[in-house]
Structure 1
Amino acid sequence: MIELLLKKSGGYLMKQGTTILTLENGYHLWTHTEGQGNIKLLCLHGGPGGNHEYYENFASKLANIGVQVTMYDQLGSWYSDQPDFSLQENIDKFLNMDYFIDEVEEVRTKLGLENFYLIGQSWGGILTQEYALKYPEHLKGIIISSMTDNIDEYVTNINKIREKEFSDDDLTFMKKCESENDYVNKRYQSLIDKLNQGYVDRKQPPAISHLTETMATPVYNYFQGDNEFVVTGKMKGWDRRNDIHKLQMPTLITYGEHETMPLTTAKRMAATIPNARLETTPNGGHHHMIDNAPVYFKHLEQFLIDVENHTFPKSKN
């Protein structure tokens, strides 16, 4: 087995580069660590069924304050093992919230992380909240990026976005396609593309474009649905509004100003979580760490510095 931890000066530095973890269930996860420093940041990607790629520059962006960044692809995603989800036994075992929460804990354990920061974007933000509620003793702070504490308010917001952007004719057409499960319709897809360009990937970066599809579609469809502007999967109904007040660790909530998630929810979350700060990114969509990287990383860096210096204040937002 590859030695994951290197002893240095009485502490531990995680192995740099790529390490393949063997899980207790026998499957393998791709992990990658970059950066040197005492601040440890573990990154949870969105989707579900997305991948690590928008975290690839985090180590370089945060290098001046000494952050060691670890990212991984969750089971079923991109570089990690992909179980056969045509088998009901795999659906039952792996495609549920509890599995992915405990997967984070197994990754943490195998990588030897303790007193670390956990960041999650979108679906990863759900996992961050769930992990922080279940395993708070391991965390120094959390970053919830582009995620609500419940799905209902998200659905209300994406419906408002659709009504704002489209004519009655387009809306009727979209609802007809969705009622008939005709998501491959070219006109329907063109309307979704418009929404993605306005509220998800506003910058449309070529750096993370691929010649092939990288989304783990069976995982995404099972939890979310066909696209970011419908929620028909198992994620529907998820709600932690009554529990987020239990999150006692320093918390940063980050939203793009042109976001699929409702900013009113973010403000309520920041007011409810005892030690939270809300930061918004101008000209940013759901992937605001790419849309407006300078502002996003300024907010993230300041949060980490404040927590490390024991000067982290609650936001007035």
Structure 2
Amino acid sequence: MHQGSRIVTLKNGFHLFTRTVGEGDVNLLCVHGGPGGTHEEFENFAEHLADHHVRVSMYDQLGSFYSDQPDYTKPENRQYLTIDYYLSELEEVRQQLGLDHFYLLGHSWGGLLAQEYALRYPEHLKGLVVMSMIDNLDEYIENINRERDETLSKRDVAYMKEVEADERFDDPKYRELVDVLNNHFAMRHPENGFSHNVETMATPVYNYFQGDNEFVMVGKLTEWDRRADTHKIKTPTLLTFGDHDTMPLDTAERMHREMSNSRLVYTPDGGHCHSTDNPKAFFHTLGEFLDDVEAGTFNQSKQGVAADEK
């Protein structure tokens, strides 16, 4: 397999940035969040998983910073703003990178695609990691509204709702309140992350699927619901969430019960981006999962691991 960075050309003619780092026989393909994020959240995975002999592959999806960015105002490019397209793109990347019998990790939006992939292409998977993503958006919307109500004053919540109704998302006070929520539930320790001199989020993709921010879900993803199919995923699966996640942990526990071959672990002091918030705990969990599947000892006793056990 090619090591380092590589541009792949899709059948549709667009180009995607891919990167493979690390040495070993265990192949892990990581799918970023957003929608519209980048592969960069996985750049440190190979280093942290070196003792587990893991080779980490990652890529930027169409529209993201390091890959081609179509003009989505053109009608001919709207066909690429669908879950089915991004799922087919994932499978094409898998083929171009020469991966089979591999581990698939998806974070947030990437976790949605990972679930879709496990349902459609289970024959290619050795293991699945769903990171901070549940199986529907209804329960997510309910949870982020509850978190907002419990964290902010009634006056501030009312102000945010007024701004959202008027779509004045650049309002300074509104942005300040979004930052407060992000610091509680999205990324609790941004000092552990990375920064850029320019904005790298693919805003057109994010706005279409999500909305303006993590706490106002009005995009196309509101229609997504896989609750009826969760039990069909039989691949050895790690469900990993931050203990202060934007995702509802009650739903995570219900998914764990319904998935016969799963393990649920909470990362302490972790938000939605818990691999950044608490990398020591997160990579311990991920490495243990990979080792157990490789050894054939995964899930011999089907128990979740509470946050305070890490």
Aligning the two structures, in what range does the TM-score lie when normalised by the shorter sequence?
over 0.9
Q: What is the root-mean-square deviation of aligned Cα atoms in Å?
A: 0.8
Aligned to 2:150: 164
Say which SS state the counterpart of residue 223 (structure 2) adopts.
coil
CA distance in structure 1 between the partners assigned to 2:204 and 2:196 by the alignment: 19
Say which SS state the counterpart of residue 19 (structure 2) adopts.
strand
What are the Cα deviations for residues 137-190 of structure 1, in whole angstroms up to 9, with x where unaligned?
100010000001000000000000110011111111111111111111001010
Give me the TM-score of the superposition, normalised by structure 1.
Answer: 0.94
By how many angstroms is 1:315 displaced?
3.4
CA distance in structure 1 between the partners assigned to 2:49 and 2:153 by the alignment: 43
Match of 1:152 among 112, 128, 138: 138
CA distance in structure 2 between the partners assigned to 1:272 and 1:237 by the alignment: 22
Match of 1:251 among 237, 248, 253: 237
In the alignment, does 2:222 pair up with 1:236?
yes
For 1:274-289, what aligned pairs fall within 5 Å after superposition?
A: 274-289=260-275
For 1:32-111, what aligned pairs fall within 5 Å after superposition?
A: 32-91=19-78, 93-111=79-97
- The runs of 5 or more residues in structure 1 that have no matched partner are 1-13
In the alignment, does 2:17 pair up with 1:30?
yes
CA distance in structure 1 between the partners assigned to 2:52 and 2:203 by the alignment: 37
Matching residue's letter, 1:270: H
Aligned to 2:307: none
Aligned to 1:11: none
Higher deviation after alignment, 198-207 or 97-106: 198-207
What are the Cα deviations for residues 202-246 of structure 1, in whole angstroms up to 9, with x where unaligned?
111364111111000000000000000011110012110110111
Aligned partners of 1:256 and 1:284 also within 8 Å: yes
Aligned partners of 1:270 and 1:315 also within 8 Å: no
List 4+ stretches of structure 1 deviating above 2 A. Answer: none
Aligned partners of 1:281 and 1:288 also within 8 Å: yes
Aligned length: 303
Say which SS state the counterpart of residue 316 (structure 1) adopts.
coil
By how many angstroms is 1:201 displaced?
1.2
Aligned to 1:202: 188
Aligned partners of 2:192 and 2:277 also within 8 Å: no
Say which SS state the counterpart of residue 208 (structure 1) adopts.
coil
Aligned partners of 2:137 and 2:225 also within 8 Å: yes
Taking only the aligned residue pairs, the percentage that are identical comes to: 54
Matching residue's letter, 1:287: C
Match of 1:290 among 276, 292, 298: 276
Aligned partners of 2:22 and 2:47 also within 8 Å: yes
Aligned partners of 1:278 and 1:315 also within 8 Å: no
- The runs of 5 or more residues in structure 2 that have no matched partner are 305-310
